[in-house]
Amino acid sequence: MRLLIAGASSSSGKTLITCGLLTALRERGLNVCAYKTGPDYIDPGHLRLAGKCEAYNLDTWLMTQDLTRELFIRTSHNHDIALIEGAMGLYDGGENSCAEIAKLLNAPVILIINAKSMGESAAAIAMGFRDYDRNINLAGVIINNVGSASHVKIISDSLKRVNIKLLGSIKRDDSLTLKERHLGLIPVTEHDSFNLANLKHVIESSINIQEIINIAKSAPDLNLNYDSCENICPVNHVRVAVARDKAFSFYYPESLEFLESLGAELIYFSPLSDKTLPESDIYIFGGGFPEIFAGELAENKSMLESIRNCRKNILAECGGFMYLCRSLQDINGKKFSMAGLIESESFMTSRPVIGYLEARALSDNILCSKGEIIRGHEFHYSRMSHESKAFEFTRPRTGNKYTGGYSSQNILASYLHINFFGNKKLAENFLTSSTV
């Protein structure tokens, strides 16, 4: 059983409603699994908490269509029901839109419409979404932010006229919100205000859960044949230490799991609270929010000194890139000393840099050889005072090119986020790269 929860636009309530459905379905005894379309580290954390399951990303830019489908099949086939939360609006994102993911996985779609200050127009929106691409199985609508019973009736009657099923309506409730800041929702690792019991009660009383299950049951079986991992040979045992705490939490589970499948032993450490680096062959500093915890990171001087003395291979992405620099200027303009492995300073700005990228290596590095191209994405508000030229980046939609990142004999750091599941040869290169 599977279905995709999509929105007419961003901020429609997809994450809250998907989390509520996961909780309600799980408490009915169903073994649930969760997914998020597109490049996203934060929403999957909320899905993971609500479903008490791992939450994977489905992204045909980072993985290709075949690998995206393979990942879904591999991770869902032992579960009773899979819920996929879409990104942005249903049709936004071009070839990687949640509409394309729905077609790739033959998943029924439930559309969420924020009906605040809207009446019959909600039905017109739903009809337009249904008719825009008839290859999408739009199985029903949930309306969010309704004000009264009469408000619901107006929309319900108009949906009946266009033959679209209303699956539920959720009243406006200021308590049903998730905290946000500059990169979107605040990760669940940083707060405990996610009231799942209240959310479950609202969902149970507002949505026809049995009809949701029936829609998920209507999805046809997927072919379970896959063999793309069969030609990957495990490498010799490699110990990989991963920085993971409130400051560094941006990791794709399928990416780390693939490293493990190749023979890596993953261990986790905290740059915030641990005194020194653990013994390891390779280190990964992922993305996150070092700007929020810059003071605490700077105060942990023994960890910073341990990193400065490290001669093993280090891969750093985005927040990890910032942490390895000489200093970090936080959102209030206060400067803090960081690890100093990279002679640059990072500082926060008011404008985000967002999008998919192709990165061409300008020299050999610990991931790939000169001239090789890596697919990834970036999403950050910080900038560097100066960057060396580890990669030439190209934006696929505009063709704009620019250089950035830092590469040395044992360090590769940039704003590029990658997914090893989508580039399995890259994973092999990384694990077999020699230490200095």
Domain CATH number, residue 305: 3.40.50.880
- Type of residue at 252: Y
Q: Determine how β-strand 391-394 pairs with β-strand 401-404.
A: antiparallel
As a whole number of angstroms, the distance between CA 67 and CA 56 comes to 13
Q: What average pLDDT does range 75-86 have in this prediction?
A: 96
Same domain for 423 and 342: yes
The pLDDT tens digits of the residues spanning 42-58 come to 889 999 999 999 999 99
Q: Report if residue 232 sits inside a domain.
A: no
**For residue 3, pLDDT beyond 50:** yes
Last residue of a domain, one of 165, 184, 217: 217
Q: Report if residue 45 sits inside a domain.
A: yes
**Count of domains observed in the chain:** 2
Angle value at C-alpha 48, between 45 and 50, nearest 5 degrees: 110
Q: Report if residue 52 sits inside a domain.
A: yes
How many angstroms from the chain centroid is the CA of residue 274?
Answer: 26
Q: Which of 169-183, 190-204, 387-401 has the highest mean pLDDT?
A: 387-401
Q: Report if residue 224 sits inside a domain.
A: no
- Beta bridge mates, 349: none
Same domain for 329 and 252: yes
**For residue 435, pLDDT beyond 50:** no
Same domain for 268 and 213: no
Q: For residues 100 and 193, which has the higher predicted lDDT (pLDDT)? A: 100
Q: Report if residue 222 sits inside a domain.
A: no
Contact 302, 275 (CB under 8 A): yes
The pLDDT tens digits of the residues spanning 221-240 come to 987 666 555 556 677 789 99
Residues spanned by the domain of 426: 238-432
Q: Report if residue 55 sits inside a domain.
A: yes
Instruction: Report if pTM > 0.75.
Output: yes
The pLDDT tens digits of the residues spanning 267-326 come to 999 999 999 999 999 999 999 999 999 999 999 999 999 999 999 999 999 999 999 999
As a whole number of angstroms, the distance between CA 177 and CA 200 comes to 14
Phi and psi of 255, rounded to 5°? -70, -45
Q: Report if residue 112 sits inside a domain.
A: yes
The residues carrying an active-site annotation are 318
Mean pLDDT of the chain: 91
Q: Report if residue 127 sits inside a domain.
A: yes
pLDDT at 181: 46
Any residues with CB less than 8 A from the CB of 6 and at least 6 apart, and which?
14, 86, 89, 90, 98, 99, 102, 109, 110, 111, 112
